[in-house]
């Protein structure tokens, strides 16, 4: 093994989900960076790894830890980064350490494994072909409003992390901006004893959440439906306006196609029926 920073995913509830390769990397590491040394110590004991050197790295200490991590890797050592649960760097510390190691010209690699967002997405029953990860929404303020409004028109499935105390308010706010019928899934306590997937409309889930569910939660929300195609009448009206403004027939069709998101061919065909509009080619 050559010197590298190794991002190692760890279980999000069920210890049986520790990737087998994680144990190899724990055993080989000169240093294991973690959020909580006691918690990671218990995981190492479960994995049968003794004598590992642990260093606490969180949002405040990540930059300082980077110097030691880079030195160790430059000397050919493996340094492991784990978070409390799941994949480091996903709503968890990690990005700064990755930047520092890459900036110093060293290798960064990964032992992939549990990520709550992906586990919730694939079990949600909502489309998985295209999705976006929103992480935690801001609790209040303009940025929260801006992000909620963006979700309302986002065509891809959206995945959020949310606390049990705020899930009812977030579902209510989403029902307001996206409409109460938009489908969603609350994934609670994934891989744990009380794992639960609650599937329904945003309005139904907001009512369900009013009792303040317990445990860890991922919220998956269906993407916005595609905007309705403009009717023939709407296209003709827009074409008339363009033609009346002096546009040539082709320019009018191009402009209307772009403005209404309809096909240029369709716009041109419709222009043929407008008296005084386009003269069909003889």
- Nearest approach, Cβ of 58 to ligand SAM (angstroms)? 11
Work out the number of other CB atoms within 10 angstroms of the CB of residue 126. 20
Instruction: Pick the binder of ligand SAM from 91, 207, 208, 274 (CB under 6 A).
Output: 91
- Nearest approach, Cβ of 136 to ligand SAM (angstroms)? 7
DSSP string, 112-130: ----HHHHHHHHHSS--SS
CB closer to ligand SAM, 33 vs 218: 218
Q: Which residues of 234-267 are buried (b: 16+ CB within 10 A; e: fewer)?
A: ebbebbbebbeeebebeebbbbbbeebebeeebb
Task: Specify the stretch interacting with ligand SAM by CB under 6 A; choose among 102-110, 146-154, 216-224, 270-278.
Answer: 216-224
CB closer to ligand SAM, 35 vs 242: 35
Number of residues that bind ligand SAM (CB under 6 A): 22
Tell me the C-alpha distance between 211 and 259, whole Å.
46
Please say whether the beta carbons of 119 and 185 come within 8 A.
no
- Nearest approach, Cβ of 193 to ligand SAM (angstroms)? 11
Instruction: Pick the binder of ligand SAM from 85, 121, 151, 239 (CB under 6 A).
Output: 85
In the complex, the residues that contact ligand SAM under the rule CB under 6 A are 12-13, 83, 85-87, 90-92, 115-117, 161-162, 187, 189-192, 216-218
């Amino acid at each position: 093994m050559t010197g590298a920073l190794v991002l190692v995913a760890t279980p999000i509830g069920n210890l049986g989900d520790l990737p087998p390769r994680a144990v190899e990397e724990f055993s080989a590491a000169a240093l294991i960076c973690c959020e909580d040394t006691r918690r990671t110590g218990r995981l190492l004991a479960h994995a049968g790894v003794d004598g590992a050197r642990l260093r606490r790295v969180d949002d405040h200490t990540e930059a300082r830890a980077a110097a030691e991590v880079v030195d160790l890797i430059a000397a050919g050592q493996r340094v492991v980064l784990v978070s409390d649960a799941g994949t480091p760097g996903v709503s968890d510390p990690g990005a700064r350490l990755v930047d520092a190691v890459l900036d110093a010209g060293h290798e960064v690699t990964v032992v992939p494994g549990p990520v709550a967002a992906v586990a919730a997405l694939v079990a949600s029953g909502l489309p998985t072909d295209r999705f976006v990860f929103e992480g935690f929404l801001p609790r209040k303020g303009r940025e929260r409003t801006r992000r909620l409004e963006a979700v309302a028109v986002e065509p891809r499935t959206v995945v959020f992390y949310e606390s049990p105390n705020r899930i009812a308010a977030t579902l209510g706010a989403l029902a307001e901006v996206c409409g109460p019928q938009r489908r969603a899934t609350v994934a609670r306590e994934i891989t744990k004893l009380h794992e639960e997937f609650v599937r329904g409309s945003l309005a139904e889930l907001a009512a369900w959440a009013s009792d303040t569910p317990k445990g860890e939660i991922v919220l998956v929300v269906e993407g916005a439906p595609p905007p309705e195609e403009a009717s023939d009448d709407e296209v003709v009206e827009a074409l008339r306006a363009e033609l009346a403004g002096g546009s040539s027939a082709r320019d009018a069709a191009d402009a209307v196609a772009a403005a209404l998101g309809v096909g240029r061919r369709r716009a041109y065909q419709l222009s043929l029926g407008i008296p005084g509009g386009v003269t069909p080619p003889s």
